[in-house]
Amino acid sequence: MSRIGKKSVNISEGVEVKISANTIDVKGPKGALAFTHHREVKVTLQDKIISVTKVGATKKARAIWGTTTKLITNMINGVTAGFEKRLELNGVGFRMSVSGKKLVMALGFSHPVEMIIPEGLAVKIENNVMMISGIDKQKVGEFAAVVRKLKPVEPYKGKGFRYVGEVVRLKEGKKATTS
């Protein structure tokens, strides 16, 4: 039994939810999101409470049950409060800036790295911290992961992208031996 799937989802004030066939539409103060759920689960709406139940007893139904509940919760949280990921860039000569809908970064390569910011996301840069925010948790996390993958933290000097608050254990370098 899924502990997450058993829980019902409460709808916040100012949020509209429409359920039709296999589609769930959520509208809130920050925007609107839509999600098409799997046919192995049934989503019902009663008195500002959404409940998700399994349709069958298959392995797929058990797997999708809790996931669907959490995705609906994330949609409601996204249209009310939004999501944010913070990346920190460390290293001498490493820079980043936003120009229009492009993110331009100097990461020690022979050329600057340019990335187009996906629709629905906002990127702000303060000092060496990049804040990626939006209403879709998956888009925010995926874009942060793609940016981080460009220059992950190396374990000797700690240069590269890391999430704010992430602890990176630094390795000890080579030791010079004297003869």
Q: What is the pLDDT of residues 69-116, one digit of tens each?
A: 999 999 999 999 999 999 999 999 999 999 999 999 999 999 999 999
At 21 the pLDDT is 86
Q: What is the pTM of this model?
A: 0.89
Domain ranges of the chain: 3-80, 83-163
How much is the CA Rg of the chain, to the nearest whole Å? 21
- CA dist., res. 112 & res. 146, Å (int): 16
CA distance 106 to 53: 49
CA 120 to chain CA centroid, nearest Å: 12
Report yes or no: 48 and 100 within 8 Å, Cβ to Cβ.
no
For the 83-163 domain, the top CATH level (class) is alpha beta
Query: CATH fold of 3-80, please?
Result: Outer Surface Protein A; domain 3 (3.90.930)
> How does the average pLDDT of the chain come out, rounded?
92
Task: Show the tokens assigned to 88.
Answer: 């920190």
Give the pairing of strands 102-106 and 113-116: antiparallel
Structure tokens at 111: 């050329």
Q: In the prediction, which pLDDT does 1 show?
A: 60
Identify the band that residue 173 occupies on the pLDDT scale cut at 50, 70 and 90.
confident
Topology match between the domains 3-80 and 83-163: yes
